[in-house]
Homo-oligomer: A and B are copies of this chain.
Amino acid sequence: MSISVLGMSVSLDGFIAGPDDFLGGDDGQRLHSWFTRDGGFVPPTGPAGGLVAEWAAAGAVVTGRRTAELMDHWGGDHGGAPIFVVSHRPPGPAARWGYPDVHYLTGVADAMKQAKAAAGDRHVEVRGGYIGARAIEAGVLDEIQIHQVPVLLGRGRRLFEELSAPVELDIVRVIDTPDATHIRYRVRR
């Protein structure tokens, strides 16, 4: 049975990006420094090394439209995994005609259902704070993998702006490294 996992790098003061936009320039990049160097991808070694293998093992992706378009739909698939984009508007030209593995749907619950069917035994990677919040509210998010980075950004975009109701979590695993505290939560239902 597939599970859905939202992965997010977050500053201690709760920001996932700088104030301007996705990744937010210098501020937002800081949050990714635990797996990047000089703008390039450098997987961590040691206890956090397995986290990257977890991403790569995703069987499908559910994402918001904003994230999808800013990432150019990851070129049409996410490391071979199909991409389910939640949006009320029809897809743009690239996603419509160029990418057979990109699917636009209007509801997060429907997107998750199709993504889980496509993922089989592998997990569904959820991308984007906004769609993550909507998945939580719809009761279709199973786990949250937080990478809490030891920095206060001061301002920017919040992990979740607001949720319609409180949600209890269970701590599944804590990985303690100098670059980040990686905490995995299960959403209680």
Contact = CB atoms under 8 A, between A and B. Distances in A.
A116 interface: no
Contacts of A176: 171, 174, 176
A6 to B, nearest CB: 11
Contact of A163 (B136, B154, B158): B154
10 contacts: A12-B146, A136-B152, A148-B183, A150-B185, A152-B169, A154-B164, A154-B166, A155-B162, A174-B176, A174-B181
- How many copies of this chain does one complex carry? 2
A38 to B, nearest CB: 18
A127 interface: no
A42 B83 CA distance: 48
A167 interface: yes
A47 B27 CA distance: 34
A54 to B, nearest CB: 19
Interface residues of A, number: 34
A130 to B, nearest CB: 13
Contacts of A30: 166
Given A14-B13, A171-B181, A155 B163 contact: yes
Contacts of A146: 12
Contacts of A12: 144, 146, 159, 169, 185
The residue in A30, A144, A174 that gathers the most chain B C-beta atoms within 10 A of its C-beta is: A174
